Each structure stands twice: as C-alpha cells, then as structure tokens.
Structure 1
Amino acid sequence: MLEWETLELLVTVKAYPVVSDMHGECVCVAGIRTDTGVPAWVRLFPVPFRDLPYAQRFKKYDIVRLRARRTSSDTRPESYLPDANSIRVLSHLDTGRDWFKRRSYVEPLRAPSMCAVQSAQAMSGTSLGVFRPRRVLDLVWEDAQPRSTRQQAKLDQLSLFDSPSVEGLEEIPYKFRYRYQCEDCARNDSHQQRVLDWEIGQAYRSWRTKYGEEGALRAIRKRWLVEMASSAKDLHFYVGNIARFPRSFCVLGCFYPPLRTSTAPMF
C-alpha cells in the first residue's frame, strides 16, 4: 500500500455530489498545492463532504491541510485518496485587490487553450487544467438521466444511518453544458462540455424555490453566461477529465476575477 502524505492545497473546485457504488454519496474536489514551492494540481476523491463535521466543511478558495495517498484505482497523476478525518481548514483567500491572492496560484498554471490541455493529456496523462476561453457561445441544458435503481437503493441504505439534520441528496434534472471556442479552435470548431460545479446545482435548487422552474433556468443562464462571461470579467474554465474516458473533459468550475485594464505582469 502506498504511503500517506500530508498535503496543503487551495480548493478551487467542488463538484456536485454523486452516488458511488463503492463509496456512497461523495464529492470530487480539485485544487492547487500550496506546499510544493511551485503550484501544482491535485484531485481528492472520494470526499464525504456532507458527512464531515461543520468545522471541516471547507469552502472554495480555502486552504486546507490533510493526509492523502496515491491509489492504484485512479492512476491519473493528480489524483489522491483523502483521509477525510484529517481535513483541517487553515485560511481563506479573499477577493481583495482584484482577486490578487487567488490569481497568484491560478495564473501560473494557466494553459494556452482547451486543445492544449487535451494535448498534454495525450502526452503525459494530465487530467486537470485551467485556461481562458476565447469566446463563450452558449450555455445549454438537457434532461439528465435519473438515478439507477442501484444508486437509489444505495442512498436509501445510507439514509438509515445519517443524522436527521442531513438533507437528502436531490437529483438535478438537467445537465448544463458550456459551448465555447478556445484559442486553438478553428473558425467553425467549438467545444461543448458539461458543467459539474456544485454551485450550478445548488443555484438551480435555490432559484427554483424562489423563481419557479423556468425562472431558475433563466437565472442560471444569466449568471453563468451573461455575467461570468461578460467583458468585465477575466473568465477562465477549470476543467478535468473522467477516469474511465481520459479524453473527455468537463468544466469543473469557473474563475472570473475582474478584467485587469493594465497589461503589466502581476508578479
């Protein structure tokens, strides 16, 4: 068995919870190592996030420390199996000075394009990346496939042992996808990738209650397409691939600080 390591990382991505046959309800987390001198990607899976004590329930852009180890079941170079009991929240990076603290970790890892991330995957197995899309064309959605009978049975089994305060995991009935061009796309080419960020699922749940079904979808489109991709934002996509289909990437989250008017380097 591979040895445990102590990692510190800046959390940049929390995907919406999924139901695993082996692990039950769990979350995939990605972030940037803060203890390696040079920023480096790391993926943590599975994280039983909603089962964690509240003091351990980290937010995006928290810096956390934990024990983790490599695993033979996921050979992607950034992937670690976390010891959830060891998670400690150390600090939080705020948005002051146009997200200066966050940019200092994200920008050194920025790839030229989505096509460049895919090329790196083919050459070295890279499975995480961040880049600026050249042009965001649309945010679309389609009906999601309902949970399988086996997945629902797993959740029902787990609910017997959950605290009454833990809310059941609600299915999001839609798959949201970005359609965009990266810097290396030809004139008529584009990428279309599913958005897996927890935020978009939670926004749907919250806004459906507030605005109704159609109103929630309009609000999501406004937030993720009109606002985040506006000319006032320096939009980047965090992307990651799927273990079973390493050439298939999804949008794991968005990084959208204010667009800097100065072209002078930050660092």
Structure 2
Amino acid sequence: MERRKILIATKTYPSISTKYQETVCTAGVLLDDDEKPIQWIRIYPIRFRQLDFDKRYPRWSITSAKIERNDKDYREESWGHLTFVESLNLTPALSLVRRGSRNFVSPMVYLQN
C-alpha cells in the first residue's frame, strides 16, 4: 500500500452492504508532497463508523493514508483498502475552501471518451 496525501472532498451517507456491513464512499483529491492536486479519487469501501474516533475525517481535511488501487473496479479514479495513518492539518484545507475550491480543482477536470 502506498502512503498518500488526500484532500477529503465529501463522503456519502452510510449504506448497508451484505459484504461490507455499513460503508461509505469517499471522494477526494490526491495531493503531491507540495499539496498540489494530482487527480480526483474515489475510495470505497470504507467502514466509517468502525474507524477509531480520531481516525474519522471531516470534509475538506487533508489526511495521510495508506491506500491501494481497487483492482475490482475498472475506473481510473477508484482506490480501496484505506488505512488512515494521521490527520495532517485542517487549516490549509479550510482556507482553500474559503478562497474558492474551483481554482484548486479546475486543472483536474475529468473527461471521458
């Protein structure tokens, strides 16, 4: 598993799964070491309520996590098997939102063929 920086954009309402119990799907932005955006990512499945309380992530937080490609999903943006390592800093992400997240995410517009 790779350790990566992720800006958490949003997560879905928990849904019940027979295979994974209760799960959420999370959308985020993969960041480089300088916290510049690389690409949109989708992380699934995450058993959010089963995470330790200090490992739960709010929207617009930057976290460092171990993730790997989801080999059961053909979509380029799909990742899975998330192990949170640490929350980094909430302040830069909140200031990014206040300035306008459009400027941050515009270079990563996802185009399908």
TM-score tier after normalising by the smaller chain length: 0.7 to 0.9
The equivalent residue for 1:15 is 12
Distance 2:104 2:2 in 1: 21
Q: Which has the higher helix share?
A: 1
- Unaligned residue ranges in structure 2 (runs of 5+): none
Change (3 A) 1:15 1:48: same
Q: Is the 8 A contact 2:61 2:94 kept in 1?
A: no
Shift >4 Å, 4+ stretches? none
Q: Is the 8 A contact 2:66 2:85 kept in 1?
A: yes
- What is the TM-score when the length of structure 1 is the normalising length? 0.37
How far does residue 56 in structure 1 lie from its aligned partner after superposition?
A: 0.8
Name the count of aligned residue pairs: 109
Q: Is the 8 A contact 1:70 1:79 kept in 2?
A: yes
How far does residue 95 in structure 1 lie from its aligned partner after superposition?
A: 4.4
The equivalent residue for 1:91 is 89
Q: Which has the higher strand share?
A: 2
Please show how residues 140-179 of structure 1 align to structure 2 within 5 Å.
none
Between the two structures, name the one with larger relative contact order (CA 8 Å, sep ≥ 6): 2
How far does residue 108 in structure 1 lie from its aligned partner after superposition?
A: 2.4
Cα deviations by residue, 1:114-158 (Å, 9 ceiling, x for unpaired): xxx6xx33x2xxxxxxxxxxxxxxxxxxxxxxxxxxxxxxxxxxx
Distance 1:56 1:17 in 2: 17
The equivalent residue for 1:61 is 60
Cα deviations by residue, 1:61-97 (Å, 9 ceiling, x for unpaired): 000111111132112101111333x34211112247x
Which SS does the other structure have where 1:41 is aligned? strand
Distance 2:86 2:41 in 1: 16
User: How high is the sequence identity, in percent, across the aligned residues?
Assistant: 28
TM-align CA RMSD: 2.3
- What is the TM-score when the length of structure 2 is the normalising length? 0.81
Amino acid at match of 2:94: D
Cα deviations by residue, 1:24-76 (Å, 9 ceiling, x for unpaired): 10100011111275431111111111111111111000001111111321121
Change (3 A) 1:75 1:87: farther
Distance 2:23 2:70 in 1: 17
- Unaligned residue ranges in structure 1 (runs of 5+): 112-116, 124-267
Q: Is the 8 A contact 1:32 1:105 kept in 2?
A: no
Please show how residues 1-267 of structure 1 align to structure 2 within 5 Å.
4-35=1-32, 37-84=36-83, 86-92=84-90, 93-95=93-95, 99-100=98-99, 102-109=101-108, 111=109, 120-121=111-112, 123=113
Query: Highest CA radius of gyration, 1 or 2?
Result: 1
